[in-house]
Structure 1
Amino acid sequence: MHEVKARETLASRLGFILLSAGCAIGLGNVWRFPFITGRYGGAAFVLIYILFLIILGLPVMVMELAIGRASKQNIGLALNTLTPAKKPWHVYGKLAIIGNYTLMMFYTTITGWLLSYFVHMIKGDFLGLDAAGVGSFFGSMLENPLSMTVWMIVAVILGFLPVARGLQSGVEKITKYMMIGLLALMLILAINSLSLKGGSEGLKFYLIPDFAKLGGNFFEAVYAAMGQAFFTLSLGIGSIAIFGSYIGKEHRLTGEAVRIIGLDTFVALCSGLIIFPAAFAFGVQPDAGPSLIFITLPNIFNQMAGGRFWGTLFFLFMSFAALSTLIAVFENIISFWIDTKGVSRKKATLINAIAISLLSIPCVLGFNLLSGFQPLGPGTGVLDLEDFIVSSTLLPLGSLIFTLYCTWKYGWGWDKFIKEADSGEGQKFPSALRLYFQYILPTVIFGIFIKGYWDIFVK
């Protein structure tokens, strides 16, 4: 069993909530959420999504925070610390750390794209380009491995700088400012979108539920809502548990999880308020995946009064969303190195900044020199494979393991989990639903896991 050493702590409760929300808030909120909301009929989908956030995301987040707070360790050591005699559980700790590295192998590249677009927007490089021109700009960016590598390294450096400065003076302080900036930018962008002529149709689509729009897609929409509710919170690889390990027992964890999820949902909903009115005002369909952010939206900004200014703010907001996730996951990785290798924070940061830069190169090359490598079928690349390993494998698998670990006697056990979750003041964990948490929740998570594989390999 590892000794639980004196541990750094966060200076404030606000810092903890903003850090945890910063980890959860990322590209899933800002580009995936509006796209799948558009695909599945708008407001009706949003209601189903919020329901699954409460019944799926919330309990798993409380469990992950409880594991972190009780063990006072990163996920690599937490299960070993809480149940030293129950060996099989420990294996997942190391897998979760691998998951953090795998996530960073592609997230750094996408963050680099956003930073580069922010700079291009400031310089006015999109002015006068039509949709085809913006598309060709994005294509030429992907074809240039050198430029993409430079921007990826810039993203790695910006993510590791706060981590190197320490938990309170670096990670907490900088993320706090970044998150407040992100929320302010969102509100300004949303107000601008809402004031656009013709944007009210987008608002109706987004805010007035019409279940008839789901039509024959009802079960598909339910699965998509489950998946989005689940993946948006970054649960399952210990990147939330780490912040649980840095807090005291003054507040019950259910209330804290509600606040984190509330902030995460606010950002997702606000991103829809930015994108839908703008898309409807300019007669553009919110497209899938990267093309929405990197082709469709720059084209909309080009047609908008003051578009260069609004585009610059938008990509600054997107960069903050991506960097807040980088900082949170980097902190998890560095904590693992400090606790297991006994190295200083600065040395761990330097080693990992180099390692993650090198590990991110395959993703960069997947769009050019390695574009012939299509691991999951035609049209897929290195990024898709890495995303599949994290999103369809380790996140659901980890959440399933955390759920079983916290509710079954073969793991940490229900009583110990409840004692930890309910330490302090505030909202209690709903113990009356024990059978749901023990049997139904793991079954649903397992179903999400199986369907992820089915869709890739069988469908």
Structure 2
Amino acid sequence: MNLSKSKPSSGRNDRFSSTGFILAAIGSSVGLGNMWKFPYITGANGGAAFFLLFIICLILVGLPLLLAELAIGRAGRGSAATSFVKAGGARIFGKLGFLQVLAPFLILTFYVIVAGWTLHYAVLSFSGTLYDNTDFSGQFNTFVGGYLPIIWQVIAILITSFVVAKGISGGIERFNKVLIPGLVILLIVLMIRAVTLPGAGEGVSFFLNPDFSKLSPEAALVALGHAFFSLSLGMGILLTYGAYVDKRQSLGSATLAIGAGDLIYALIAGLIIFPTIFSFGIESDAGPSLVFMALPAAFSAMPLGAFFGGLFFVLLAIAALTSSVSLFEVPVTYVMDRFGWGRGRSVLVISVLVLLVGIPSALSFGIAPALTSMGGKNFFDWLDFITSNILLPLGGLITTIFAGYFWKTAAEAAGLSTRWFSIWLFMLRYVAPILMLLVLLHTSGLISF
């Protein structure tokens, strides 16, 4: 693959189609968090009661901010950093907007590592090798503690960079038009398999029956934070995608479609995870321990487990790669905008930087002791903490302040009726900033309940 000579669809005239844009935006929000984090935080905070709270937060903060990012991107027709200024903002917003370039780049450096894990486990599951040894925790720790993850990291980067090098319509849109329908099919197949397992009804009941006694201010902030993160807000993706949206596209309708897609994915993820873990007596722990250690034990015990396990890890790989493509496009668009480079050269440079910065994360699970224990976290976890808990909430707060208080042409850019614009502006001025500040203080550990 010669990225330096890639020329397809690299100019600013390259645009998403209406369907392609919505699928690409849904692809950015369909990530790993909803599969291994959402079920855990839902179960710990009241099941359906928390899910209802999540929907409310999605409406109050998620959708208004999502629309703001899309509108700023389309009005500015630049990168996540320059769109603020090109849309009519002061230069200081360009400097602040750079946070929404830095954050996705740093996230990408460790996200492609996890994408590589999912690809590796898909191969292991389909081949049956994964189930030869039932010490799944030992298998995972041995894998991540060696050099093999770097090979899969490189494979994930190559897939991602190949798609982005093909441009918007010929690369990102075409990629999502194939993978998102495939993702939907896999979700439905795995959901049907999960809810028909022996004892699955108890898991469904646990997920869908509300327990309002478990709701608390802490739960509200967790729901608010997840609504924010699950829509890929504050990381420049929707600002960047907005720059490639046709002026005829209704941003209000697109916002609702993207929000609905995110909500449905979260719901189905719960209907896959909860019935499975209840059927096999697995703890609903969050993170890699659930996906790479506990669930393989469930697949090994069910009929055709290697097949369904393979499908599950392919599902995770699709979710990871569609998000990786979205993350990758942000710094690529920035360097194209900032330095006037072609798409091929930009992709090549970002690919090399992602690999180099990401290698310490890949080596921080035991093979490099200096990277394994750094103030209670390894290098991988520190990058995750800084980006997710500090940079992303800051990025979202900057967007709400700009759109709510400083953007003079917001009404025209958003394309809303007078009534809906007034509601949207009210949310951006008086609701979203306060709630976003609370999320920032909570996720950074400065406040707790």
Indicate whether the TM-score tops 0.5: yes
**Residue 23 (structure 1) aligns with:** 28
**Counterpart Cα distance in 2 of 1:371 and 1:221:** 36
Q: How does 1:22-421 map to 2 (within 5 A)?
A: 22-83=27-88, 86-130=90-134, 133-144=135-146, 146-212=147-213, 214=214, 218-373=216-371, 377-378=375-376, 380-408=377-405, 411-413=406-408, 416-421=409-414
- Does structure 2 conserve the Cα–Cα contact (< 8 Å) formed by 1:375 and 1:385? no
Instruction: Quote the offset at 1:190 in angstroms.
Output: 0.3
Per-residue Cα deviation, 1:10-67 (whole angstroms, up to 9, x for no partner): 3421100010111111011111111111222311111111110111100010000010
- Pairwise CA RMSD: 2.0
Percent identical among aligned pairs is 34
**Counterpart Cα distance in 1 of 2:181 and 2:173:** 12
- Does structure 2 conserve the Cα–Cα contact (< 8 Å) formed by 1:203 and 1:276? yes
- Does structure 2 conserve the Cα–Cα contact (< 8 Å) formed by 1:252 and 1:428? no
2:415 to 422, 434, 450: 422
Please list every run of 5 or more consecutive structure 1 residues that lacks an aligned counterpart in the other structure.
Answer: none
- Does structure 1 conserve the Cα–Cα contact (< 8 Å) formed by 2:161 and 2:325? yes
Per-residue Cα deviation, 1:282-339 (whole angstroms, up to 9, x for no partner): 1222112110100111110001111000000000000000000111111222222222
Per-residue Cα deviation, 1:391-426 (whole angstroms, up to 9, x for no partner): 111111111111010111xx223xx11221116xx9
Q: Compare 6-15 and 98-107 and name the one that shifted more.
A: 6-15
**Counterpart Cα distance in 1 of 2:91 and 2:162:** 36
Pair 1:431-2:422 in alignment? yes
Instruction: Quote the offset at 1:437 in angstroms.
Output: 2.4
Q: Give the direction of change, closer, same or farther, for the CA distance of 1:427–1:15 in structure 2 (3 Å limit).
A: farther
Q: Give the direction of change, closer, same or farther, for the CA distance of 1:350–1:292 in structure 2 (3 Å limit).
A: same
Specify the SS of the correspondent of 2:129: coil
Amino acid at match of 1:87: R
Pair 1:452-2:443 in alignment? yes
- Does structure 1 conserve the Cα–Cα contact (< 8 Å) formed by 2:60 and 2:427? no
**Counterpart Cα distance in 2 of 1:427 and 1:314:** 45
Instruction: Quote the offset at 1:373 in angstroms.
Output: 4.2
Amino acid at match of 2:438: G
Specify the SS of the correspondent of 1:75: coil
Q: Compare 307-316 and 38-47 and name the one that shifted more.
A: 38-47
**Counterpart Cα distance in 2 of 1:337 and 1:433:** 32
Amino acid at match of 2:136: V
**Counterpart Cα distance in 1 of 2:73 and 2:288:** 34
- Does structure 2 conserve the Cα–Cα contact (< 8 Å) formed by 1:34 and 1:272? yes
Q: What is the TM-score normalised by the length of structure 1?
A: 0.91
Specify the SS of the correspondent of 2:445: helix
**Counterpart Cα distance in 2 of 1:375 and 1:226:** 31
Instruction: Quote the offset at 1:95 in angstroms.
Output: 2.2
- Does structure 1 conserve the Cα–Cα contact (< 8 Å) formed by 2:81 and 2:97? yes
- Does structure 2 conserve the Cα–Cα contact (< 8 Å) formed by 1:20 and 1:260? yes
**Counterpart Cα distance in 1 of 2:154 and 2:51:** 36
**Counterpart Cα distance in 2 of 1:437 and 1:254:** 15
**Counterpart Cα distance in 2 of 1:432 and 1:263:** 23
Q: Give the direction of change, closer, same or farther, for the CA distance of 1:6–1:120 in structure 2 (3 Å limit).
A: closer
**Counterpart Cα distance in 1 of 2:422 and 2:369:** 51
